[in-house]
Amino acid sequence: MNILALLDQIPIGFVVLACVTLGLAPFVPEPHLWEKLKMLGAGTLTKPIDIFDLFWHAWPWLLLIAKLARMALSRQA
């Protein structure tokens, strides 16, 4: 099975739920993803735990982008 077939099998609802929960957690005082992106922009994202945290909170959003792009491309074909 190739990676695109696997991407097609993941339900979009699951991906959206992962974005809302894991992608935005914790909600207060600000989502970790937003905090880590600000650190990346400021050049202060240097600790391995912060880099891991960025990846951990960003993967649902990256998966959503890939899923939506795949859905858009399959509609055009």
Q: One digit per residue, pLDDT tens: the chain, 77 residues?
A: 698 889 999 999 999 999 999 988 888 889 989 999 999 999 999 999 999 999 999 999 999 999 999 999 888 87
In a domain, 40, yes or no: yes
Please state the domain count of the chain: 1
In a domain, 45, yes or no: yes
In a domain, 60, yes or no: yes
Q: Cα(12)–Cα(2) distance, rounded to whole angstroms?
A: 18
In a domain, 7, yes or no: no
Length of the chain, in residues: 77
In a domain, 34, yes or no: yes
In a domain, 59, yes or no: yes
Domain span at residue 40 reads 26-70
Q: Cα(4)–Cα(35) distance, rounded to whole angstroms?
A: 31
In a domain, 17, yes or no: no
In a domain, 38, yes or no: yes
Cβ atoms of 71 and 7 closer than 8 Å: no
